[in-house]
Amino acid sequence: MASLSFLSTPSSSSLSSLHNTTPSSSRIFLRTPSLNFRASPTKLFSIKAQSAPVLTQDDLKKLAADKAVDYVKSGMVLGLGTGSTAAFVVAKLGELLKTGELTNIIGVPTSKRTEEQARSLNIPLSILDDHPHIDLAIDGADEVDPLLNLVKGRGGALLREKMVEAASDEFVVVADETKLVDGLGGSKLAMPVEELRLNLRVGEDGKPYVTDNFNYIVDLYFENPIKDGYAAGKEISGLEGVVEHGLFLDMATAVIIAGKTGVEVKSK
């Protein structure tokens, strides 16, 4: 009777190590069956242990961006967000316009950076004054809480982002799983406020950061998550010189989260 046997029996520790070594160094050798026991040469085959590819944060952002573009239909006026995740959305839109899969799209950019990228991809652009009604806005987020409230604006474009997204029938957010928080401010990273004065954010060149609207950014930090976003937003807006804050409350209609187990869509 033909039999199958390992040349050597790996220990439990060596089996687990198969997932921690490169594919080229992980081999299991199998002996072929033989019916002639007197003089039969042994043939060896090797099976390479392949480990699943590890997705980077950019990979996750691109997955979420591609899913968000599924919401886009030809003829739409689109709000084009700002930031690393939104850049993947704009790139995908440019690709679909080039292939003819989308037509008659008009984009309303939320920053000069997004405007420059969109122009380089030949995406037709307009401004909010000329297109005050927007069908769909797609943008990233710095934090997303369980109720789909957001912190946005760490990229410095929060005023234009909020204006464009407030004018949109639908606002789809794209993010990776690292942006999920139990409460806004929970990441202990900056919650930006755009204003005219006070302590200013300093750029890499040592100069205060100036937004596209020629305002300044003040970064607020919280030891504990914000319990009442609306009360906090009202309090911040009441401070002298404040133009806008980075709390985007009850604005997102859907949030697309890309994680290591796949893409999840959360909607209201």
What pLDDT score was predicted for residue 8?
43
Please provide the size of the chain in residues.
268
Average pLDDT of the segment spanning 173-201: 87
Average pLDDT of the segment spanning 217-222: 91
Is the pLDDT confidence value at 242 over 90? yes
How many CB atoms are located within 10 Å of the residue 264 CB?
A: 13
Render the burial of 113-138: b for 16+ CB within 10 Å, e for the rest.
bbbebbeeeebebeebeebeebbbbb
**Residues designated as active site:** 161
Nearest to 138 by CA among 187, 80, 209, 181: 80
Residue 57, SS3 per DSSP? helix
Nearest to 161 by CA among 123, 122, 114: 114
**What element of type H or E holds 260?**
none
Which structure tokens are listed for 169? 């029938």
Amino acid (one-letter) located at 169: D
pLDDT in tens, 54-69: 788 888 899 999 999 9
Q: How much of the chain is helix, strand and coil, in % rounded to 5?
A: 25, 25, 45
Average pLDDT of the segment spanning 146-153: 96
Share of the chain above pLDDT 90, in %: 66
Residue 268 CA neighbour count, 13 Å, CB half: 15
pLDDT in tens, 24-78: 443 333 434 444 444 445 455 555 555 556 788 888 899 999 999 999 999 999 9
